[in-house]
Amino acid sequence: MVRRVGEVLFAPPFTLSISQTSCGFLLLASKEEGGGESLLFAGYVKPKKSSGKLLKELLPRLKELETLSAGATRLSFPASDRALFTEHLLQTHLRKEPLESKAADIAWRHDALLQWGESRAAKVLSDYFEVPVRTIHTRLQMARDKGLLEAPGIGNRLKN
């Protein structure tokens, strides 16, 4: 998987990222809350200063923003830029300690990716951890067997 996120600013509980795209610079802002990551802002900007300075200036304004639906917001962007939502979320995972078991950790990350509208969460995790996708599927099944993850059911992806 190609890491396309440009610059990232971690200022707990906030994470901001800015990446150059064909439409301009995509700015994403999120906040850690309740064990998950909530999207606060997603939009294109044309910074007149360095992206690092822009991120630092925007930080105080994030407290005023309300949570967006990450999955629905992601769909309003071109397909070529949607991967940056996933990359932003994966960047937020870097600041978290892995959970007690590999199955629990994969289940948590998989669920977070699905909530952010990632339709190929197992493949993303396979690339992220540099393991075969079958390994991710096995760990997800172990998590389901332990009751850590609900089985999606036949045709569940087609319902959304």
Count how many Cα atoms sit within 13 Å of the Cα of residue 133 in the half-sphere of its side chain.
6
Spatial CA neighbour of 31 closest among 13, 18, 57: 13
Q: Are residues 104 and 63 in the same domain?
A: no
Q: Is residue 19 part of a domain?
A: yes
> What is the span of the domain harbouring residue 65?
1-78
The model's pLDDT over 125-153, given as tens digits with 9 standing for 90+, comes to: 999 999 999 999 999 999 999 998 887 65
Query: pTM of the full predicted structure?
Result: 0.84
User: pLDDT for 61-99, tens place per residue?
Assistant: 898 899 999 999 999 999 989 999 999 999 998 877 777
* Gap between the Cα atoms of 80 and 62, Å rounded: 26
* 41 located within any domain: yes
